[in-house]
Amino acid sequence: MTILITLIPLLPLLGFIILGLGYRSIPKHIASIIGPGSILISFILSVIVLLNFRFSPFAFRFFDWISFGNLSISFDFLIDPLSILMMLIITGVGFIIHVYSVGYMSHDEGFNRFFAYMNLFIFFMLILVMAANYAVMFIGWEGVGLCSYLLIGFWFKNQQFNNAAKKAFIMNRIGDLGFLLGMFLIYKTFRSFNYVTIFDLAKTMSPGSGAITAITLLLFVGAVGKSAQIPLYTWLPDAMAGPTPVSALIHAATMVTAGVYMVARSGVLYVLAPETMEIMGITAMATMLLAAAIAVFQNDIKKVLAYSTISQLGYMFVALSVGAFTAAMFHLMTHAFFKALLFLGAGSVIHALEGEQDIRKMGGLKNAMPKTFWTFLIGTLAIAGIPPLSGFFSKDEILANVFSSSQPMWIIAVAVTMLTAFYMFRLIFFTFFGSYRGNGHPQFSNIHESPAMMTIPLMILAFLAFAGGFLNIPELMGGSRVLKEFLAPVFADAVKLNQIPHMPVPERREWFNIALVLFLVLLMAFRAFRKFGDLKPDDGNRISGIGARSIFGKLAENKFYVDELYDAVFVKPVLKVSGALHEFIEVKFIDRIVNGTGTLVVRFSNIIRYLQAGHVGAYMFFMIIGILLILFFNIIL
Amino acid sequence: MNSIISLSVLGVLVLFLGILKKKTWLLPLILVGLVASLMMTLLHWNMNRSLFHNMLIIDNTGVAFSSVLIFSTFLIFLFAARYYRKVIRPLDDIYAIMIFALVGAVLMSYYGNLIMLFIGIETLSIALYVLAGSHKEAITSNEATLKYFLLGSFLSGFLLFGIALLYGSSGSFDLYAIHSYVVDHIQQGLPPMFKAGLFLLIIGLAFKIAIAPFHFWAPDVYEGTPTLLTAFMATVVKTASVVAMYRFFSITFFGIHGVWEMTIAILAGITIVIGNVTGLYQPNLKRMLAYSSISHSGYMMLAMVAFSGRTANALLFYSVAYSIATITAFAILILVREARGNDYFGSFNGIAKKNRIEAFTLAVAMLSLTGIPPLAGFMGKYFLFAAAIEQGWLWLVIIAIAGSAVSVGYYFKPIIAMYFREDQGTILQSGKPFKVHILFLTLLTILLGFLPFLLSGLI
Amino acid sequence: MLTLILILLPLLVAIGLFFIKNERWARNLALAAALIESGISIAALYTYFNFCHCQLLFRFEWLANYGISLKFGMDGLSMLMTLLTNFLVPVVIYSSFTQKVERASSFYSLIILMQAGLIGVFTAFDGMMFYIFWELTLIPAYFIAAYWGGENRIRITLKFFAYTFSGSLLMLVAIIYLYFHTPLPHSFDHIWLYASNLNPAEQVWVFLAFFLAFAIKIPIFPFHTWQPDTYVTAPYSGSMLLGGLMSKMGLFGMIRWMIPITYPVLNRTDGFFIIFPLIGIVYASLIAIRQDDLKRFVAYTSIAHLGLVAAGAMALNAQAMQGAMIQMVSHGINIVGLFIIIQYIESRTKTTSIAELQGIALKAPRLAVLFMIILLGSIALPLTNGFVGEFLILLGLFKYYWLYAAVAGLTVIFSVVYMLWMYQRVMLGNTNTVTESFTDLSWKEMIPLIAIVIMIFWIGIAPGMFMHLAENGVRQIIGVVR
Amino acid sequence: MNALNSIPISYYLMFCSILFCIGVIGVLIKRNALVILMSIELMINSINLLLAAFSAYSNDPAGQIFVFFIMVVAAAEVAIGLAIIVLIYKTTHSIDIDVLNKLKW
């Protein structure tokens, strides 16, 4: 069994190594078997693991990594419902996206390189979720960051893309520093990195103790970096520079949710730190609101999806901040399905339009590429939360939990839901409805559906996005909560220790909430339809978006100038300081002192050598003075 | 004793050969004679006796140092033939005078009585006055000898006055007698007359060792004197004067400290600073070596200040290491002057390209003088520093290491010129014997660095 | 005995090489000697593990009445550093084969001589021997840099020599001073020196002397200004030896000599002296960002990295010191790798200016990959060698004082900033006129880099052996400190 | 003998010291090599006198023996000195010591 489990991450690694070493020699058709194949096998293995999983989490040692004295960091894997769930999502969705990429990247000369990176990413992601201690988790944590860097900058001819990649890595690293310090504090407090030991010890500690608050905050910094929350979210939109499958896999389905996973994993610690939970809640609120607001005004199809991802992640963090871990994980899963679907759909559109990403130049594609359209529509409905699609259930659960703990938060969450619905429908109307606005290139006539290699994955994901929700139908609707039961043992302690007050909500109220939210969502959808239902090429001001009108719109369209702000506050000053340090401190101060001592001695030498004037008389005189001084000091004194 | 007699005889023989115009026999005879007298000197090893009522005291210190003196002279004579290649006349006079000077030096390392000290010093000095001026045509040589003579006799006047005062107060010239006098009077403080005498004597010796502020003669005289004899001055004279000072202190102030140490310490400090710092600005190797020799006398004073049982040995090792390196440097200097007219650092450019051995030896000599391990110079410095630190003269040691740090600035000039600057052309014409000699010296330098125990445990 | 052979073999080879006229033979002989040396040190490792955990001691009373003995041995630390030396020197020599060296015999004999010196420094258990070999390495380093160096090498190298020499003279005084405070009979043996009893004031002075000497050698801010110029002007082999091994002498000296002898000072000043390397980390990283010359860039990055190591060494706890040891090895390997790559780039494009380079990755994927791996190693990505050490150091520092760890941790961010930016500007983007005709690495050229990459992953994934070696020594020293 | 005793030793000391100092001053202020030579002789002779006095007072012959040594040496020194001065005069046609300062700095 353990061998099978270790194979799960190792197979993608093997794929990476093979493809990496033979990135020139291996022909495409073989690469396109190795790449997805390795993932498929590890998916099957994960399924096997799931099937013979007996509801008792078990950890085992792969090998000893860093160990000396009393410190021992070993490469341990932990298999419990949570990690199994993540493994399934990663390998499953990963495999589908791999398959899709075979079609999508078919014409790219970096084909093998692409799959090598993708496999490497899967490897690290699996390490991240399968780790049994924070140190090993950190391996994955950094590794996925690296892969996202490599994949965002995949087309490295273009320095813009490289900048985006660099930005992503750096911002991730800022988070990672927090994570590291968190780990150190953990080690200092609990003398271990192992989840089990840590949580057992933590349970005994009093809630709100300083150490735990600090730990959770530092870890949360890491999560903020990884999961693109305020203030470290600006890398994610830029990350859309990478190939679309990358955006789907890394920047929607898996990597960006690592933060959520990590917080859920350390749930025990977090419930013991109410302050952290509050901070997390506020951050998440702000993030999802901001991101949703920006998304409404974006005209790049992928950017819209990117911002929607950010806000959905905020959603998950809100759930975490009220201690609704299952809900968060549930939404994580469904989000993985429908956001991957949406990205791949967008990808197929871009593919068809030969790289066009501006939705203002699209339109009327629903006839040209029906499969893409229908799947995309399903995705939209799902994310908008239309029953009975997956999004509805997951969102509803989060909303229910939030409502039971604090109404104001609930109101904001609802607002975000409305915005989500609005921008998603705006997107779909811009893209697929109305009439084609891409004047000339490419000709509407030769726009056609993507190959089966790409559409089949779309359909599979569409099915998942549709049916994924049934895993966890609330009792309210008399459903069975498979996922909740499945995850229950993991979160048992966390839920027990949860500090946030949960007032029971009467059923009628819950039904009312659901109905209300649904109504509002439909309202927004309708409003979107009224505005952008059928866009013609001529009516410019509607096309150019609402941005043109209100000042708020302007701000939002320019992402509230956050990038510019960061540039002015951090980037430019650092460069200036760097130059200044070198010029003034290094060269003109420190080094000048060093050289100065040298020149000083030489000057001194040049002075005193004139004592040696060459006149015998002078010499005698000096000597006499010397003699007199010596006699004076030794005899008179 | 043997050495004194044998050397005097040798000198006379040399003169006879000169009369007989046997030019070719001269140097072989001298070298053999020197080796012979070296042997004779070593025969005295471990026979501690005093001759003529303590006029001469034959002890291991004396034996060791006089052997060193004879050996250095031997090394210098190795290069004599080369140096006087162009001269036709026999040169017996110069060689003879050198040997007589050596006799004086040996006397200084054996003396047990101030009379002997005086005679030794004067024999040495008067001989050197002549040698310094031996290059009669060269005005520089004339100037050198004049300066040396005037300053020398002037200072030996003070030396004599000192001796007289010591005699007046202690009633004897015998070191042991003076020692007993000191022992008696040290409690109620030595009388001013004695102190005056003491310090005048010290000053007289300090002049010979070239300690600031009595060092002024050194650079000028070194520069003006014919190079071979400069080597003689820089090594033999210095060693002899140091050992003379050591003998005086070790016997008259046996087991007594604090009368003269602070004075010497301050002088040493000044010497190290002036020597090293001034050396930094010198344009040519010869003058630079003069200043380096000044600074080295400063270093030697470290051991003198920290007077202990190990001082003699430290001085011995240091003077050997210093002499060997200096002689090497002068040997190369002779070559360069011959080939390129002058010894400005510019004329050393690119020697390493065509004369690898010469460059290598000079480099080793310079590094040894700088005190880079594992060369002899380093071990020498180590013994001095160790002695000084043991006695707690930390500030002096700090000055000393600062000096060594500065000395890198000038000792590396020839190295840089030879290895890293572009070539100037003329190759140095050094015969095979010459190569062998300098390699022999370099080997000694390295060997003493690796196996210091050959010399470190002697006395 | 093995230890003695390890020191003597290169010495003799170095002397022999001087007299070899044929340059091709000279360099091959040098490489052969270096490889044999590595073989011997592996044998030493084998005996160390299998037969005795003893320290392969060699002892010979050299100056009995002055307490100096030729005492050489290999505990874990020495073994680790010796392995590093004997791994890097062949790599350095081999990588120099790709370009023409005039007077090769002298060149290689100096390199081998330096190797002898380094091994002497790392294996010396006698204070005076440590000092002697310490200086012995300086001479070949100086000559290599000054003879085969770039423009205005004379001034720069003389500055380098004088600066480091003054520092080590202070150390000499400190060592002698200690000697006279060792229990009777005085001795330079390290156990005696550890046992020397000084009053607090003396301790401070001795500590300062040591600290200055090592700080200049490593170098630690603000004593680092000789280093960038020297790295730039020195030939590549020289820079590799300086950055890869000579800087380690300082750190090793700290761990082996300074800390066990004067740790009370570190305790009393609680961590004041750690502030210098910490400043150095931030300062050098910031400066590195804007450097245009690749060698200068590497120089500043190494100041930052070594600052971290020094901070770890002075944090006086097992984790940090362990990390420092591992990180010394890793940094040595990585910086040599970087220099090799820069050497290849310059040999093809005749420039080291970042601004002039662009898009090399398009032309040379192999170079790009190897470069990226080494780069990841030096930004301390998990599973590469950089991480293990950096992680432990930061962990230890955190235990010492969390703020220090936070500041030192900035290297996690900065390293990515400057490294990636450099990589982006040099390797990525589209080619320009300079890099138009850039040819990819030949297998011959790849060999040293592959060796380095293997080490990077070995230490990164399975540091067990290295940890074990380091632990053995570190435990002793921490034992002394406690 | 008693005539000698009637003069205290300190007188001799004073006298000789003054003589010595005169010699020193002569050396310092004169620029003529010959005069300097003479002044040095004066110094040495004052020392001779002092030594003689000391030896007489401590009736110990050593002092007076030493005086003879000094005389011999002084003679030799003077011989050399004059030779040198002649040499200088040949080359520079002057015996002013300040003419010769080629060697400096």
pLDDT tens column, A265-282: 998 999 998 899 999 999
Q: Which of B311, B459, B278, B452 is nearest to B385 (CA)?
A: B311
The helix (H) or strand (E) run that includes residue B81 is helix B80-83
- The interface residues of chain C toward chain B in range 118-137, judged by CB-CB distance below 8 A, are 128, 131-133, 135-136
What's the whole-model pTM score?
A: 0.93
The secondary structure of B377-397, three-state, reads HHHHHHHHHHHHHHCCCHHHH
Least confident stretch, A519-533, C233-247, C306-320: A519-533
A617 to chain B, any CB pair closer than 8 A? The answer is no
| Distance set, CA B316 to CA B58, B68, B320, B446, D10 (Å) | 16, 8, 6, 17, 42
Check if the beta carbon of residue B227 is closer than 8 Å to that of residue B337.
yes
Check if the beta carbon of residue C449 is closer than 8 Å to that of residue C370.
yes
For chain B, list residues whose CB is within 8 angstroms of any CB belonging to chain C. Answer: 367, 372-374, 378, 382-383, 385-386, 389-390, 394, 397-398, 401-402, 404-405, 408-409, 412, 416, 419-421, 452-453, 456-457
Whether B233 maps to a domain, the answer reads: yes
Find chain D residues with C-beta within 8 A of B220's C-beta: 103-104
Whether B309 maps to a domain, the answer reads: yes
A388 preceded by a cis bond (ω within 30 of 0): yes
B146 to chain D, any CB pair closer than 8 A? The answer is yes
Tell me whether residues C412 and A180 touch, CB distance under 8 A: yes
**Chain centre to alpha carbon of residue A160:** 20
Could you say which of C66, C128, C139 has the minimum Cβ distance to residue B367? C139
Find chain A residues with C-beta within 8 A of C468's C-beta: 68
Tell me whether residues C131 and B397 touch, CB distance under 8 A: no
Tell me whether residues B167 and D13 touch, CB distance under 8 A: no
Check if the beta carbon of residue A420 is closer than 8 Å to that of residue A380.
no
- Residue C269 and residue C256: Cα distance in Å, rounded? 20
Please report, as a single letter, which amino acid is at residue C20.
I
Q: Which of A552, A292, A560 is nearest to A419 (CA)?
A: A292
Whether B180 maps to a domain, the answer reads: no
D29 has a pLDDT exceeding 50:
yes
Which of B223, B248, B273 is the last residue before a domain boundary? B248
Residues 6+ apart with CB under 8 A from A408: none
- List the domain boundaries for chain D: 2-92
Tokens of C142: 């100086």
Q: What is the mean pLDDT of residues B261-272?
A: 94
Could you say which of B155, B263, B406 has the minimum Cβ distance to residue A601? B406
How many contacts, defined by CB atoms under 8 Å, are there between A and C? 130
Please report, as a single letter, which amino acid is at residue A583.
E
Tokens of A158: 């273009």
Q: Are residues B234 and B300 in the same domain?
A: no
- The interface residues of chain B toward chain D in range 272-291, judged by CB-CB distance below 8 A, are 281
**Chain position carrying tokens 């390490």:** A127
Tell me whether residues C290 and A575 touch, CB distance under 8 A: yes
Tell me whether residues B220 and A635 touch, CB distance under 8 A: no
pLDDT of residue D8: 86
The helix (H) or strand (E) run that includes residue D15 is helix D9-29
Q: Quote the domain boundaries for residue B239.
A: 1-147+211-248
A210 has a pLDDT exceeding 60:
yes
pLDDT of residue A279: 92
CA–CA min distance A262, chain C (Å): 18
Percent of chain B at pLDDT above 90?
A: 72
Name the CA radius of gyration of chain D, rounded. 17
- Residue C78 and residue B204: Cα distance in Å, rounded? 54
Percent of chain A at pLDDT above 70?
A: 98
CA atoms within 13 A on the CB side of B257: 10
The secondary structure of A502-523, three-state, reads CCCCCHHHHHHHHHHHHHHHHH
CA–CA min distance C471, chain A (Å): 7
Q: What is the mean pLDDT of residues B324-346?
A: 91
Could you say which of C290, C392, C416 has the minimum Cβ distance to residue A579? C290
CA atoms within 13 A on the CB side of A28: 12
Return the sign of the alpha-carbon dihedral for residues A488, A489, A495, A496: positive
- The interface residues of chain B toward chain D in range 191-230, judged by CB-CB distance below 8 A, are 193, 219-221, 223-224
- Residue C260 and residue C477: Cα distance in Å, rounded? 6
pLDDT digit string (tens) for A113-125?
Answer: 999 999 999 999 9
Check if the beta carbon of residue B387 is closer than 8 Å to that of residue B311.
yes
Check if the beta carbon of residue A211 is closer than 8 Å to that of residue A241.
no
Tell me whether residues A181 and C398 touch, CB distance under 8 A: yes
Q: Are residues B217 and B329 in the same domain?
A: no
- Residue A96 and residue B446: Cα distance in Å, rounded? 75
D27 to chain A, any CB pair closer than 8 A? The answer is yes
Tell me whether residues A157 and C413 touch, CB distance under 8 A: no
Q: Quickly list H helices, C19-152.
A: 23-50, 76-96, 104-123, 127-147
- List the domain boundaries for chain C: 270-482
Q: Are residues B365 and B430 in the same domain?
A: yes
Q: Is chain C touching chain D, with at least 3 CB–CB pairs below 8 Å?
A: no
Could you say which of D28, D97, D98 has the minimum Cβ distance to residue A621? D28
**Chain centre to alpha carbon of residue D53:** 17
**Mean pLDDT over the full length of chain B:** 91
Could you say which of B155, B196, B220 has the minimum Cβ distance to residue A614? B220
CATH T-level topology, domain D2-92: Helix Hairpins (1.10.287)
Q: How confident is the model at residue A547 (pLDDT cuts 50, 70, 90)?
A: very low
A296 has a pLDDT exceeding 80:
yes
Angle D42-D43-D49 from CA coordinates, rounded to 5°: 85
C-beta atoms surrounding B33 within 10 Å: 21
Whether B76 maps to a domain, the answer reads: yes
Whether B197 maps to a domain, the answer reads: no
Q: What is the mean pLDDT of residues A483-509?
A: 83
pLDDT of residue D2: 57
Could you say which of A173, A188, A575 has the minimum Cβ distance to residue C289? A575
Could you tell me which residues are beta bridge partners of residue A79? A58
pLDDT of residue A91: 94
A387 preceded by a cis bond (ω within 30 of 0): no
CA–CA min distance C157, chain A (Å): 13
Tell me whether residues C462 and A66 touch, CB distance under 8 A: no
Please report, as a single letter, which amino acid is at residue B108.
M
Check if the beta carbon of residue A249 is closer than 8 Å to that of residue A94.
yes
Check if the beta carbon of residue A266 is closer than 8 Å to that of residue A392.
no
Q: How confident is the model at residue C223 (pLDDT cuts 50, 70, 90)?
A: very high
Whether B159 maps to a domain, the answer reads: no
Could you say which of A605, A616, A619 has the minimum Cβ distance to residue B281? A605
CA–CA min distance C18, chain B (Å): 10
Tell me whether residues A615 and D98 touch, CB distance under 8 A: yes
Percent of chain C at pLDDT above 90?
A: 74
pLDDT of residue A499: 76
Q: Is chain C touching chain A, with at least 3 CB–CB pairs below 8 Å?
A: yes
pLDDT of residue B424: 67
Nearest CA in chain A to B214: A623
C400 has a pLDDT exceeding 70:
yes
Q: What is the mean pLDDT of residues C112-122?
A: 94
A538 has a pLDDT exceeding 80:
no
Tell me whether residues C165 and B397 touch, CB distance under 8 A: no
Whether B182 maps to a domain, the answer reads: no
Using CB atoms, list chains with 3+ pairs below 8 Å to chain C. Answer: A, B
Q: Are residues B235 and B332 in the same domain?
A: no
- The interface residues of chain D toward chain B in range 45-104, judged by CB-CB distance below 8 A, are 47, 50-51, 54-55, 58, 60, 62-63, 65-66, 69-70, 73, 76-77, 80-81, 84-85, 87-88, 91-92, 97, 100-104
Tokens of C27: 């360099």
Could you say which of C381, C398, C413 has the minimum Cβ distance to residue A142? C381
| Distance set, CA A491 to CA A83, A199, A264, D37 (Å) | 12, 11, 8, 111
**Mean pLDDT over the full length of chain A:** 88
A65 to chain C, any CB pair closer than 8 A? The answer is yes
CA–CA min distance B157, chain D (Å): 6
Which of A128, A180, A576 best tests the C interface by mutation, with the highest count of C CBs <10 A? A180
CA–CA min distance B200, chain C (Å): 33
Tokens of A431: 């893209």
CA–CA min distance D79, chain B (Å): 10
C-beta atoms surrounding A1 within 10 Å: 12
Tell me whether residues D88 and B130 touch, CB distance under 8 A: no
